[in-house]
Amino acid sequence: MDRTSALDSAFLHVEDAHSSLHIASLGIFEGPAPSQDEVVTAIERKLPAVPRLRQRLRAVPLAAGRPVWADDPDFRIEHHLSRLRVPAPGGEAELREVAGVVLSEALPHDRPLWEDVVIEGLEDGRWALLTKVHHTMADGIAGTDLLATILDQAPEGPDPAHDPPQEWAPARPPGPARLVADAVREQAVLRSQELRGLPGAVGAALGHPVTTARAAGAIGQGVLGFARAVVPTTPTSLVGSLGRDRDFRWTRISLADVLLVRERLGGTVNDVVLAAVTQGFRDLELTRGLGAEPDSVRCLVPVSVRRPSSSTLDNEVSALLLTLPVELEDPRDRFYEVAARTLALKESHEAQAGQWALAVADALPPPAVAAFLHLAFRVPHRNLTTVVTNVPGPRTTLYLAGRRMLATYPYVPIADRLRIGVAVTSYGEDLLLGITTDRDSTHDADVLLAGLRSGFDDLLAVASSRRPRQESR
């Protein structure tokens, strides 16, 4: 059994009747759509590579510890695979409507926290695979790796002769007494390790005072950076109460164009993305008559702290809090301001402070952390406006049941009072963007989508008018 971390279990506590905390991807495939038997066969043979897909969460009685992952003795792959058909003519509008309905539904907690939905009837003979994975199970990078594992790297898939089906027998599920005993034992071991390690930590601190002071100073600087988020943003209709239903829109941008902008203007790919997102929110605010005021759009930007050798599905992320310069009209000014702000945030050690805070949360009694989260996410505030996540995706072509995947659009959940979320990934030669909105309150998401595309186009125009940096010296 694997125990969830404080961050993993936080996504359970945040979820409520208005917020379903799953990440997702909408893969578009060449036709014809495979039969249900073909889909079952293609995915079932990959399950041994991802044991978590056949495990469910077990809550610890008396809240003595965080939930654990344990084999589901009732696992049936058919419970996680379903099919839907879009109405004619099967265009993007029809697919968007069906995808929104599926994404609005929470994953049942009494079984493994994932599902795949085959969506048939798309125009040009295409079909889609909508994959949902609860955020408790995986972060964005782990979710992307999971998709790459479930799909094939060749049309014919793995050779059955070299990769025969494996029989699976679930481990006996833990009873209530064992769950409590294991949780108490783990807490006792953790406290003992902390006590035993204290003299060594003190000795190391005294032996290397400069290094210790720098580390403490970096964390303190990062904590102060997060503390700035206590200051409310400018009032805006971009945040507020949420309904249950979600809308999902998407678009694609040439990755070569994005790389050209980065090459000509400097910064990073993420700076290019965030500058385009800034224009999208600027256009949305101006359309709503909000004035695009400074400090009106503060976004949470997840930052991976995953080690290169890590192969777990757990969440290994920290975050930066970036205020988007929506008040700036010129695309060049917006880009350079975004690049300067993101660089300053990286140098402020906010990501390290986030890691430290999560480590502290892991060491605290689970009931105290759960109580804090329940309170924090149910008190109205104006500290955040949106979330923008950017996760590199596979560059090689992927297949399912011999059908080539043409695109994969990412979905990020929204919760608390955030009515809009933006997710970005890459696949092949494209940068793919997905926009999540609250259906009840956000009826103008097309304005944001058009603004995003316009933001990329404007940056490309600016970059195309400049010679490469190495030639301009």
For residue 56, what is the domain's CATH number? Answer: 3.30.559.10
CB half-sphere exposure, 267, CA atoms < 13 A: 28
CB half-sphere exposure, 100, CA atoms < 13 A: 20
Report if residue 220 sits inside a domain: no
CB-based contact 373:18 (threshold 8 Å) = no
- The CATH number given to whatever domain includes residue 295 is 3.30.559.30
Report if residue 208 sits inside a domain: no
CA distance 319 to 312: 19
- Domain boundaries, position 268: 225-464
Nearest Cα to Cα of residue 106 among 145, 132, 144, 141: 132
Q: Report the number of distinct structural domains present in the chain.
A: 2
CA distance 21 to 14: 8
Within 10 Å of residue 188's Cβ, how many Cβ atoms?
10
| DSSP calls for 63-123 | G-S--EEEE-TT--GGGGEEEEEPPTT--HHHHHHHHHHHHHSPPPTTS-SEEEEEEE--G
Same domain for 245 and 114 = no
CB-based contact 46:406 (threshold 8 Å) = no
Same domain for 253 and 138 = no
Same domain for 148 and 235 = no
pLDDT in tens, 34-70: 999 999 999 999 999 899 999 999 999 988 888 999 9
Same domain for 240 and 133 = no
DSSP H helices, 230-330, are: 255-265, 269-287
Same domain for 254 and 152 = no
The dihedral built from the CA positions of residue 437, 441, 444 and 448, taken in this order, carries a sign that is negative
Q: Whole-model pTM?
A: 0.86
Same domain for 236 and 134 = no
Same domain for 281 and 417 = yes
Residue that terminates a domain, selected from 119, 142, 176: 176
Give the max Cα distance, the chain. Answer: 72
Q: Record the tokens describing residue 144, joined without a space.
A: 């992307």
Report if residue 373 sits inside a domain: yes
Report if residue 374 sits inside a domain: yes
Coil/strand/helix, residue 59 = coil
Same domain for 259 and 146 = no
Nearest Cα to Cα of residue 301 among 247, 344, 362: 344
Report if residue 430 sits inside a domain: yes
Same domain for 370 and 256 = yes
The dihedral built from the CA positions of residue 392, 398, 401 and 407, taken in this order, carries a sign that is positive
CA distance 225 to 233: 15
CA distance 331 to 264: 14
Same domain for 116 and 26 = yes
Report if residue 196 sits inside a domain: no
Provide the b/e sequence for 429-465 (b: ≥16 CB within 10 Å). ebbbbbbbbbbbebeebebbbbbbbbbbebbbebbee
CA distance 132 to 287: 33
Q: Record the tokens describing residue 55, joined without a space.
A: 């495990």
Residues 6+ apart with CB under 8 A from 371: none
The pLDDT tens digits along the chain (473 residues) read 788 888 788 888 788 888 899 999 999 999 899 999 999 999 999 999 899 999 999 999 988 888 999 999 999 999 999 999 999 999 999 999 999 999 999 999 999 999 999 999 999 999 999 999 998 888 777 778 888 889 999 998 876 656 666 788 999 989 999 999 988 888 777 667 656 665 655 565 556 565 545 555 555 555 555 556 667 778 889 999 999 999 999 999 999 999 999 999 999 999 999 999 999 999 999 999 998 999 899 998 887 766 665 556 666 666 788 999 999 999 999 999 999 999 988 887 665 655 555 566 666 666 666 665 555 555 556 688 999 999 889 889 999 999 999 999 999 999 888 999 999 999 999 999 999 999 999 999 999 999 999 999 999 999 998 765 544 33
Same domain for 99 and 230 = no
Same domain for 152 and 31 = yes
Residue that terminates a domain, selected from 176, 202, 235: 176
Report if residue 115 sits inside a domain: yes
Catalytic residues: 135
Report if residue 184 sits inside a domain: no
